[in-house]
Structure 1
Amino acid sequence: MTQPLFISLPVSNVAASTTFYEALGFTRNPQMSDDSGSCMVWNEAVSVMLVGHAKWRTFTQRPFPPPGCADHMLSLALESRAAVDAMNEAAAAHGGTADVNPMEDHGFMYTRDLADPDGHMWAALWMDPAAMPGAGQ
């Protein structure tokens, strides 16, 4: 049985962040969402909890990272290079930042990094394990 992973991210505007993640291909789970946060489903195993700052403060009093800080990067594997490009374009069109790092193309792996409206970084990637150096040896 696959165990679910819930990633919680503090966001300054729940509605805007919900719209952003929907544009990237996530689906909002209304049963686990309200005005203080949205549960955004990537697949049956991974969901992202977008939590407004006031609600976040009920979880921890640790300070928020300063704007422009790279405190983590999460990666999403996509089905094609075109899907990676489309996700990056959707990020830019919906309040995020596309290509926060230089695009990488290693032949067997293609990545473009983006940031959501609050600066949380995501790597959109496509990979062909069969084409990796040393594969099949």
Structure 2
Amino acid sequence: MYQQMIFVNLAVNDLEASKKFFTGLGFALNEQFSDDSTASVVISDAIVLMIMKKDRFGQFTKKQIADSSQTVEALLALSAESREKVDELVDKAIASGGAPAGETQEQGDFMYGRAFFDPDGHHFEVVWMDPSVIEG
């Protein structure tokens, strides 16, 4: 059966540093879709983060590339299977060169989230939600 995927493309200042950051979070690189200007970071079976040097990224758009250290072009959200996994991933991100982004978010006993900036300033949210709330 076909599984739709999402490919998130981000411009980065230092490809090697970004690769080290994301592999430090436990994500794998798909070398088949990586080269000297692009790295394919496998987040899950359905989510791939394509990090690209700015000149390569610029080949896909006619618009100005956002300076992610100064502006937000997107809020990227990842789910986690538990509160502990939220903390684990965000703590790894900060230890790997990222920075905290905002306060911890809690809504009762059904939602918990924290956020970080990667070394280029891209904003990532990591959220756990009680499965019974999601499933209705």
So what's the TM-score if we normalise by structure 2? Answer: 0.89
Provide the rounded CA distance (Å) in 1 between the counterparts of 2:35 and 2:47: 19
Q: Secondary structure at the match of 1:62?
A: coil
Q: Which residue of structure 1 lines up, in the alignment, with residue 33 of structure 2?
A: 32
Looking at structure 2, the residues matched to 64 and 93 of structure 1 have their Cα atoms a distance apart, in angstroms, of: 27
1:121 partner amino acid:
H
Report the secondary structure of 1:57's partner residue.
Answer: helix
SS at match of 1:2: coil
Q: CA deviation at 1:59?
A: 1.6
| CA apart distance, 1:68 | 2.9
Q: TM-score, normalised by structure 1?
A: 0.89
Deviation (angstroms), 1:42:
0.9
What's 1:62 paired with? 63
Pick the aligned partner of 1:115 from 114, 117, 120.
117
SS in 2 for 1:58: helix
1:45 aligns to 2:46 (yes or no): yes
Cα displacement (A) at 1:65: 2.1
Q: CA RMSD in A?
A: 1.5
Q: Deviations over 1:27-62 (max 9, x none)?
A: 100100011010000111110000111211212242
Q: Deviations over 1:85-107 (max 9, x none)?
A: 11111111111112x11111112
Aligned to 2:105: 104
More helix by share: 2
Q: Kindly tell me the number of residue pairs found equivalent between the two proteins.
A: 132
Give the drift of 1:78: 0.7
Specify the code of the residue in structure 1 equivalent to 2:97. Answer: G
Structure 1, unmatched stretches of 5+, are none
Which AA in structure 2 matches 1:127? M
Question: 1:79 Cα deviation (Å)?
Answer: 1.0
